[in-house]
Amino acid sequence: MTNTDDKEAIERVYKTLVKSLLKKDFAKARALYVEQGAYVKSDGELTQNDGELHSELERFSVIIANMALLSRSIHVVDDIALVVVVWHWADDQSETPELQRAIDMLRKSPEGEWQFVIDNPMGL
């Protein structure tokens, strides 16, 4: 698989995550994470607890519709990807909305599927 193919596959992971969260299909969203995948909660703490991950995905599903994507930068080395997402709140009507950045790490499985290792949706 070429670097371009990997980047396209990672874009599909993000699209699947968004669709799953908007449809409240948390099982499908959870499948996009490695077994011990980590999620950075809104308080900045990292969790690998499956129950907490489910709760955070539920919480995130409520706010994701108000996030406007500006760009996604994907950097792939072998089976690891660093993804930087720049976004702003869609309801921010100011001329220069405050930019937000999320940083995520994904890993490609031996079967060729990309999954989140660390998801930090609310970013820096």
Q: pLDDT tens digits for the chain (124 residues)?
A: 678 999 999 999 999 999 999 999 999 999 999 999 999 998 899 999 999 999 999 999 999 999 999 999 999 999 999 999 999 999 998 889 999 999 999 999 999 999 999 999 987 6
Residue 69 tokens, joined:
């994507």
Q: Which of 123, 70, 62 is nearest to 96 (CA)?
A: 70
Distance, in Å, from the CA atom of 57 to the CA atom of 109, rounded to the nearest integer, reads 22
* pTM to 2 decimal places: 0.91
Residue 35 tokens, joined:
């077994």
**The pLDDT value given to residue 122:** 86
In the block, tokens 């950097």 appear at: 75
CA torsion sign for 114, 119, 123, 124 is: negative
